[in-house]
Amino acid sequence: MSTSPMNNSTGNSMRNNDSPKNGPQKKGGAKLNPSARSRARRLALQALYQWQIAKSPLNQIEAQFRSDNDFGNVDDGYFSAIIHGVPAQVSQLDDIMSGALDRPLAQLDPVELSALRIGCFELMNRKDVPYRVVINEAIELVKRFGAQDSHRYINGILDKLAPRLRADEVKAYRKK
């Protein structure tokens, strides 16, 4: 079984240094700053955009991003998990998303597509991140990097996917 940041030796989807009760933690038990994950997602969106457009090898893109950006306040493990996990599952992610889209994937703006892939990836693989956080983070990415009002489209798509990918969590939230 894989021991990548997405799957530890117990087979769950938390990183090896995540605590189920306290959420993500740095080595040594210090709690991670949620903004470190937001920064990781922002960099991952840009890296996946580059991968999608330039078709450069992921390791080259990752090395470039690590040398060009300050990773001091970035959850670098999360960044790595996204930029390697999304391409590894891109066919499955695209298949899942296609059922919720009103147009073919090829017609999506590359920023929207990258944000949707990240959101879908997190909904599928990161059960330690609440689904509403996943959706909100994707919306914020598109507000920052996407076309005007594209965040509404991203919200609608991920809101359709959440009950399919996180049925129990969505049901529990809606009962509140």
pLDDT digits (tens, 9 = 90+) for 102-140: 999 999 999 999 999 999 999 999 999 999 999 999 999
Q: What pLDDT is stored for residue 128 in this prediction? A: 93
pLDDT tens readout for residues 147-170: 999 999 999 999 999 999 999 998
CA distance 140 to 118: 12
The answer for residues whose C-beta is within 8 angstroms of residue 130's C-beta and 6 or more apart is: 169
Q: Which two tokens stand for residue 64?
A: 């470039």
The answer for residues whose C-beta is within 8 angstroms of residue 69's C-beta and 6 or more apart is: 43
Strand partners, 23: 19
Which strand (E) or helix (H) includes residue 18?
strand 18-19
Range 34-175: architecture per CATH? Orthogonal Bundle (1.10)
Residue 28 scores a pLDDT above 50: no
Q: What pLDDT is stored for residue 32 in this prediction? A: 57
CA distance 5 to 83: 12
